[in-house]
Amino acid sequence: MSKPTKRLVLVGGGHAHLYSLKYADQFVSEGAEVVLVGPDRFHYYSGMGPGMLSRIYRPEQLRFDVQNMVKSRGGRFIQGKAKSVDADNRTLILEDGAKLSYDLISFNIGSQVPAHLIPGAQEEAFLVKPIENLERVRVAILDKIQAGNTKILLIGAGPAGVELTGNILRLVRNHGAQAQVKLASATDRILPNTTHRAARLAEHSLLQRGAQIFPNFIAKSMGAGCAYSQSGDVITYNIVILTIGIVPSDVFTVSGLKTSTDGALLVNDFLHSEAYPEIFGGGDCIAIQGKSLPRIGVYAVRESPILYQNLLARLTAKPLVAFKPQKRYLLILNLGDGTGIFVRRPFAWDGKLAFVLKNFIDTRFVLKFQS
């Protein structure tokens, strides 16, 4: 077998790289060496994370063995995290100091919860990302409810905060325990970026099951079991979870690459950097020039086949395909009680059928890349 003439490095095994991993043998057949760099052999599907916390799903039901995916298709896996990239010399630098040269590289390194924005949060709070953290949250909750007087606070009332609140209520109930479950929103309602009807449906479900909702709570600091708002309000807790949104990694800003205002790699419609056309990316870590897209999993999933096609096209000198994001997207929330909320603007409805539909979509997607 002839020696590979080009090296393709995939940084991160997230949703936007799943097609490239599943069909990595196609890159190999074109004479490329395929290398996946990732922090762990498994990648967890975020859409099922809250259900893992409450054990609607077992961890193995929502994770992809990305190490095996790439190795079984002729590539190799390097455990590590990207620190920066020397674009001029086509070299990736890892956090442990190792360097990896490339001819073609693609980033799907996700995002992180900006805990540094709230003094004390880095020491006190569990972060909703990476999804594996939810296993630590589960252990902490089960430990606390044994002793009683459990006060669980979630700061951030977007989709993740709402789903986690509902699934924590399920977890506590399933263990025959009681807990104060509190959800703090920085605005006057939960789910501020979706329809008012969806917010009302979610609020009704959570309140009916015993949750407490604190609107207009903009967290200023936390410590010693107390979260303080900018207006002087205080919420007590013995477990606190941050779901305040996400920001891209600082890999691209420290590398001097062109980024969006929040530090995401700026790419064109073909999902590559204009200045360095051998640098591609997808998912939460990129921003598409001229488009303002929310950082949600649906776009990473839709980018995945386009990213695969374009990486293969770059290796074979064929035309690239533009990514065309849909204007409207489907959102289904798992409320943790066997029901869900279906949202596709301007419509929203709730019930068991919504969860059945979400479960069908999610499990079918995961099985597609687990097999």
Of 19-33, 39-53, 205-219, 285-299, give the lowest mean pLDDT range.
Answer: 285-299
Q: What is the dihedral of CA 306, 44, 166, 364, to 10 degrees?
A: 60
Question: How does strand 340-344 pair with strand 347-351?
Answer: antiparallel
Spatial distance between the Cα atoms of 83 and 128, rounded to a whole number of angstroms: 22
Q: What is the mean pLDDT of the chain?
A: 95
Express each pLDDT in 101-137 by its tens digit: 999 999 999 888 999 999 999 999 999 999 999 999 9
Nearest one of 168, 148, 164 to 156, comparing CA atoms: 164
Spatial distance between the Cα atoms of 3 and 224, rounded to a whole number of angstroms: 59
Domain ranges of the chain: 6-112+246-316, 115-245
- Tell me what pLDDT residue 267 has: 97
pLDDT higher at 4 or 263: 263
What is the average per-residue pLDDT within 96-103? 97
- Tell me what pLDDT residue 245 has: 84
What is the average per-residue pLDDT within 68-81? 97
- Tell me what pLDDT residue 345 has: 84
Q: Say whether pLDDT at 247 is over 60.
A: yes
Instruction: Name the maximum alpha-carbon separation found in the chain.
Output: 69
Q: Say whether pLDDT at 208 is over 70.
A: yes
Q: Say whether pLDDT at 2 is over 70.
A: no
Contact 333, 163 (CB under 8 A): yes
- Tell me what pLDDT residue 3 has: 58
Q: What is the dihedral of CA 317, 318, 324, 330, to 10 degrees?
A: -90
- Tell me what pLDDT residue 51 has: 98
Grade residue 246 by pLDDT with cuts at 50, 70 and 90: confident
CA-angle at 305, arms to 301 and 309, nearest 5°? 155
- Tell me what pLDDT residue 327 has: 80
Tracing tokens 């477990």 back to the chain, one arrives at 239
Share of the chain above pLDDT 90, in %: 89
Q: Say whether pLDDT at 254 is over 60.
A: yes
Q: Strand pairing partners for 267?
A: 288
Of 251-260, 323-332, 339-348, give the lowest mean pLDDT range.
Answer: 323-332
Spatial distance between the Cα atoms of 354 and 371, rounded to a whole number of angstroms: 26
**Do the domains 6-112+246-316 and 115-245 sit in the same CATH topology, yes or no?**
yes
Q: What is the pTM of this model?
A: 0.93
* CATH architecture, domain defined by 115-245: 3-Layer(bba) Sandwich (3.50)
Spatial distance between the Cα atoms of 362 and 350, rounded to a whole number of angstroms: 18
What is the average per-residue pLDDT within 21-30? 97
What is the average per-residue pLDDT within 29-50? 96
Express each pLDDT in 147-198 by its tens digit: 888 999 999 999 999 999 999 999 999 999 999 999 999 999 999 999 999 9
Express each pLDDT in 218-229 by its tens digit: 999 999 999 999
Q: 3-state secondary structure string, the chain?
A: CCCCCEEEEEECCCHHHHHHHHCHHHHHHCCEEEEEEECCCEEECHHHHHHHHCCCCCHHHCEEEHHHHHHCCCCEEEECCEEEEECCCCEEEECCCCEEECCEEEECCCEECCHHHCCCHHHHCEECCCCCHHHHHHHHHHHHHHHCCCEEEEECCCHHHHHHHHHHHHHHHHCCCCCEEEEECCCCCCCCCCCHHHHHHHHHHHHHCCCEEECCCCEEEEECCEEEECCCCEEECCEEEECCCCEECCHHHHCCCCECCCCCEEECCCCECCCCCCEEECHHHEEECCCCCCCCHHHHHHHHHHHHHHHHHHHHCCCCCCCCCCCCCCEEEECCCCCEEEEECCEEEEEHHHHHHHHHHHHHHHHHHHC
- Tell me what pLDDT residue 279 has: 98
Angle of helix 159-174 versus helix 133-147 axis, rounded to 10: 40
Q: Say whether pLDDT at 84 is over 50.
A: yes
What is the average per-residue pLDDT within 73-82? 97
CB-based burial of residue 139 (10 Å sphere; 0-12 exposed, 13-18 middle, 19+ buried)?
Answer: exposed
Grade residue 1 by pLDDT with cuts at 50, 70 and 90: very low
What is the average per-residue pLDDT within 143-147? 91
Which CATH superfamily groups domain 6-112+246-316? FAD/NAD(P)-binding domain (3.50.50.60)
- Tell me what pLDDT residue 371 has: 64
What is the average per-residue pLDDT within 36-53? 96
